Structure 1
Amino acid sequence: MTHTDTATASVGTERGAARTTGEQAVERALDAVPQWRGRRAWYTPVYGGLQNENWRVDVDGEDASFFLKVPGAGSETFIDRGNSHVAAERAGALGISPRIVHFDPSTGVEIIEFLDGYRACTNGDMKRPEIASEIIGLYRAFGSAEALPSTKTIIDMIEEHRAQAADLGVRLPSFWPALLREYRAARSALTAGGLDIVPCHNDPMPGNFLIAEGRPMRLVDFEFSSNNERAYELAVMATEFFYDDRRFTECVEEFYGAAEWSTLARVQVCSFLADVKWGLWGCVNAQLNDGWDYDYHKYGVWKLRRAQTKMTDPRWGGWLGAL
């Protein structure tokens, strides 16, 4: 899920020397790029992705390196590759994301320019106010873009994951019925007032923000992007980075221009929905594929537990009433 500069060597495995299934997938992807056929190429793994295999690619005769993403098995259950490609193209046109070099709609393989000198953000970076400000600037810019092909609101996402969990027989934690009751109350309150739909990135993993000293931040990985409720974009970021009430309010003011009570309430409710969404996502992922080296079930239950904490906040009823 991330584009991460790990300071790997510019020359790795040469095309034609593939040994593993991952390397064979890379070579098939390289063979599908018309302008690179017949040219020597080298590839090196880039670590840090959860669902995809990522590689740095160097091609004979090219001045720059490239970043190649091979989608992981089962990831198509959650990801509209065509929509994510359009989102990445529009972000690139806005100057907030790397340039796309090649996209294969049949496989979802995407190749973009490799940003030398950049590194992926860490959780520690997210505690820095200037980093949050840069992210908010990127989100405001992306939110001003033309509508994306896919509209999937936070409500749509949760309903999709609920259906997936039911179809797969996913066992949810014992407190899920209470959480479901409050989710339904939040859904009703949010939809009654109408949604503010704009293009959203929807995935504030630290590795999706690339930084370099003295250079503008870049946004990558648009796999979960869609037209969505504007408040959710900020809410999932603030929730993911564990901002306290003061920092939360500062971000709302910077994102919207003012931190009015109704706006704060909207973002707080969306932060609850964010944890419900990603909690269900984690539990479903755990059932879909046991080959990924990550404890998705633990992640999912933890997210759902944090959503439970939000709904027991004394302000919860006031937040719902303000929507």
Structure 2
Amino acid sequence: MKTLPDEQKATGVLRGRARTSAERAVESALDPVADWAGRTIRYQPVHGGLQNENWRLDVDGEDTPYFLKIPGAGSDAFIDRDNAHHAAEQASALGISPKIAHFDQSTGIEIIEFLEDYRACTNGDMKRPEIASEIIRLYRAFNSIEPLPCTKTILDMIVEHHDQAMELGTRLPHFWPQLEIEYFSARDALLASGIDMAPCHNDPMPGNFLIAEGKPMRLIDFEFSSNNERAYELAVMTTEFFFDDVRTAECVEEFYGSSTPETIARVQVCGFLADIKWGLWAIVYAQLNEAWDYDYHKYGVWKLRRALSRTADQRWGAWIGNI
């Protein structure tokens, strides 16, 4: 969500004057909102989403603007919309996420409060220790809610995306057989130690964290949330933001209350699994949605290569043995 200067708040397309297919989709999404029938509404795009079409709404008679999310083509292959909505409701009740104004179960279209003074985090923000601390605070709060309707561990996600890749005839990189051997070792070790199940957000894209000067961070976008291995929540964050060993250990201590060889190993192994999950996701998504001007297949292969590179660390065997 991006804050607009005051002079731009009345800009945007006036409802009823749609010209493009994207604008017509917005107006169709607004039709079921009975409370806004007959009201003047202006809408304009909010850029930055990877899968969805996002829009800011200014509604006559409402004190706050709103944020409209229209699911992108192909995204239903990965997302349980009912579960995502349930997770968002729970997070909103905790006060760590914006309030929900409307949800269409049949389409997955969602309208939430637009946090006017907030902006989405950037990759640069993620290098600041206070930002990581705020994310951990949000994760610990979200991990404490009642179990979600959907249980999908990181192992389940990997199997799901691999099956999707096979069904689509997706070409996996030449090093996949070697990576798969290491994956089986990590999987067996994690299952032998037992899954530490908790509700997890599972998606630390910088844009999913909203910040404002002097205000607490807010968490958004629960499309990938599920009951999952708790360590994965932290592992995917430290992996995505390229934290070094020292920074990762600091985050482990803050997340768990202590940093031990066992917790470090668990996070490192889950970071390896995170790269496999998102690598497979990307190469599958590349075949499901050709509308985005982004090379998802290249990104996915890079993620899988990074996963394999972690197994070259001389500590890899100790991590597998310690989880």
Task: Please confirm whether the aligned pair reaches a TM-score higher than 0.5, indicating the same fold.
Answer: yes
Supply the distance in 2 between the matched residues of 1:6 and 1:319 (Cα, whole angstroms).
Answer: 47
**Long gaps (5+) in structure 1:** none
Q: Which residue of 1 aligns with 2:301?
A: 301
CA separation of 1:212 and 1:102: change in aligned 2, threshold 3 A: same
CA separation of 1:300 and 1:195: change in aligned 2, threshold 3 A: same
Given that residues 73 and 288 in structure 2 are in contact (C-alpha distance below 8 angstroms), is that contact kept between their aligned partners in structure 1?
Answer: no
Pairwise mapping of residues 112-151 of structure 1 onto structure 2 (< 5 A)? 112-151=112-151
Q: How far is 1:31 from its partner?
A: 1.1
Q: How far is 1:7 from its partner?
A: 5.2
Supply the distance in 2 between the matched residues of 1:232 and 1:139 (Cα, whole angstroms).
Answer: 11
Supply the distance in 2 between the matched residues of 1:283 and 1:305 (Cα, whole angstroms).
Answer: 13
The Cα RMSD (Å) is 0.9
Q: Which residue of 2 aligns with 1:181?
A: 181
CA separation of 1:286 and 1:260: change in aligned 2, threshold 3 A: same
Given that residues 66 and 113 in structure 1 are in contact (C-alpha distance below 8 angstroms), is that contact kept between their aligned partners in structure 2?
Answer: yes
Q: Which residue of 1 aligns with 2:28?
A: 28
Pairwise mapping of residues 38-49 of structure 1 onto structure 2 (< 5 A)? 38-49=38-49
The residue type equivalent to 2:66 in the other structure is F
Supply the distance in 1 between the matched residues of 2:86 and 2:176 (Cα, whole angstroms).
Answer: 36
Q: How far is 1:292 from its partner?
A: 1.6
Helix, strand or coil for the counterpart of 2:28?
helix
The residue type equivalent to 2:217 in the other structure is M
CA separation of 1:4 and 1:180: change in aligned 2, threshold 3 A: farther
Deviations 1:247-271, CA, capped at 9 Å, x for gaps: 0000000000000101100000000
Q: Which residue of 1 aligns with 2:282?
A: 282
Given that residues 66 and 111 in structure 2 are in contact (C-alpha distance below 8 angstroms), is that contact kept between their aligned partners in structure 1?
Answer: yes
The residue type equivalent to 1:10 in the other structure is K
Q: How far is 1:5 from its partner?
A: 3.8
Q: How far is 1:4 from its partner?
A: 4.0
Supply the distance in 1 between the matched residues of 2:206 and 2:172 (Cα, whole angstroms).
Answer: 27
Q: How far is 1:29 from its partner?
A: 1.1
Helix, strand or coil for the counterpart of 1:69?
strand
Supply the distance in 1 between the matched residues of 2:5 and 2:198 (Cα, whole angstroms).
Answer: 36
Supply the distance in 2 between the matched residues of 1:24 and 1:196 (Cα, whole angstroms).
Answer: 45
Q: How far is 1:126 from its partner?
A: 0.4
Pairwise mapping of residues 16-165 of structure 1 onto structure 2 (< 5 A)? 16-165=16-165
CA separation of 1:40 and 1:161: change in aligned 2, threshold 3 A: same
**Are residue 311 (structure 1) and residue 311 (structure 2) matched?**
yes
The residue type equivalent to 1:258 in the other structure is S
Q: Which residue of 1 aligns with 2:225?
A: 225
Q: How far is 1:117 from its partner?
A: 1.1
What's the TM-score once normalised by structure 1's chain length?
0.98
Given that residues 5 and 120 in structure 1 are in contact (C-alpha distance below 8 angstroms), is that contact kept between their aligned partners in structure 2?
Answer: no
